[in-house]
């Protein structure tokens, strides 16, 4: 797991990895701005939440690689999160659940450190996408493709209720600038999900005594970005 995590972090430094990170940030930061978490855990070395509006960000990393006064680094294997239960109200996991066959352990531990009512966000490669025949088909760390429905089933086992799951990363991972292009991207998103590179899954830790989210609250979390 440690070796695969290092390979993932090295891949994020490549051109393809930077495009993926940029796309994931575009679909994460507007949601964080709406949610305004107090304490967040970024399991991707702090690469996704470094510019977020979260009051406090903790970055999980396989090795100490940078210094950012806004982000506290914790060096650890993500197989067991070195935090007390209910430590965070937002946990972000990009691709770590695709490194080994133990995705259930990752989901269980994310739920453990998440406060009741807190959010967890997964980003993963679309296992059914046509991208597998192109630039992203030969990455050495991608050993265990993860189907979103399997993650949702695991979430149900650990009190994580799915809010929404969508396909992202169309059009070469670039956000369309023209309104007509954005409309076309939205249509493609609903009619041809296999054309996407990535998926985004957002779940909330259940609070049995609490009223569920309203539809407009969920839509606000989706953010305004497409692509």
Q: With the CA atoms of 101, 146, 156 and 58 taken in that order, what torsion angle do they form, in degrees rounded to the nearest 10?
A: 80
Kindly report the number of other CB atoms within 10 A of residue 15's CB atom.
8
- The predicted pLDDT at position 158 comes to 95
- The predicted pLDDT at position 227 comes to 46
CA angle 27, 28, 29 (to 5 degrees): 110
CATH 3.40.50.150 fits 2-222, yes or no: yes
Q: What is the largest CA-CA distance in the chain?
A: 48
Segment (H or E) for 108? helix 103-113
- 203 touches 10 (CB < 8 A): no
Q: How far apart are CA 227 and CA 188, in angstroms?
A: 10
- The predicted pLDDT at position 123 comes to 95
Q: How far apart are CA 115 and CA 89, in angstroms?
A: 5
Backbone angles phi, psi at 6, to 5 degrees: -65, -40
Q: How far apart are CA 194 and CA 63, in angstroms?
A: 35
For strands 88-94 and 56-61, give the pairing. unpaired
Domain coordinates in residue numbering, the chain: 2-222
Q: How far apart are CA 168 and CA 200, in angstroms?
A: 7
- The predicted pLDDT at position 226 comes to 42
Q: Please list the residues that pair with 58 across neighbouring strands.
A: 41, 72
Q: How far apart are CA 130 and CA 188, in angstroms?
A: 14
C-alpha of 113 from chain center: 16
Mean pLDDT by 10 residues, the chain (227 residues): 75 87 92 89 89 85 66 74 93 88 88 95 86 59 81 94 89 55 53 75 82 55 53
Q: How far apart are CA 204 and CA 50, in angstroms?
A: 22
Among left, alpha and beta (phi > 0; psi -120 to 50; other), residue 143 is alpha
- The predicted pLDDT at position 209 comes to 54
């Amino acid at each position: 797991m440690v070796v695969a995590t290092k390979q993932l972090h090295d891949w994020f430094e490549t051109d393809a990895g930077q495009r993926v990170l940029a796309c994931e940030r575009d679909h994460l930061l507007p949601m964080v701005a709406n949610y305004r978490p107090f304490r967040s855990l970024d399991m991707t070395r702090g690469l996704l939440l470094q510019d977020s509006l979260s009051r406090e960000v903790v970055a999980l990393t396989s090795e100490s690689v940078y210094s950012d006064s806004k982000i506290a680094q914790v060096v650890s294997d993500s197989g067991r999160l070195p935090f007390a239960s209910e430590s965070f109200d937002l946990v972000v996991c990009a691709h770590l659940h695709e490194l080994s066959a133990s995705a259930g352990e990752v989901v269980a531990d994310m739920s453990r450190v998440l406060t009741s009512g807190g959010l967890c966000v997964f980003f993963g490669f679309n296992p059914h996408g046509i991208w597998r025949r192109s630039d992203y088909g030969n990455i050495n760390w991608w050993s265990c493709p993860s189907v979103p429905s399997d993650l949702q089933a695991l979430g149900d086992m650990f009190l994580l209720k799915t809010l929404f799951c969508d396909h992202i990363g169309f059009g070469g991972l670039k956000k369309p600038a023209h309104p007509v292009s954005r409309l076309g991207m939205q249509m493609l998103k609903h009619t041809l999900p296999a054309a996407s590179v990535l998926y985004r899954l957002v779940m909330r830790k259940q609070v049995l005594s609490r009223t569920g989210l309203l539809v407009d609250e969920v839509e606000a979390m989706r953010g305004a970005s497409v692509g």
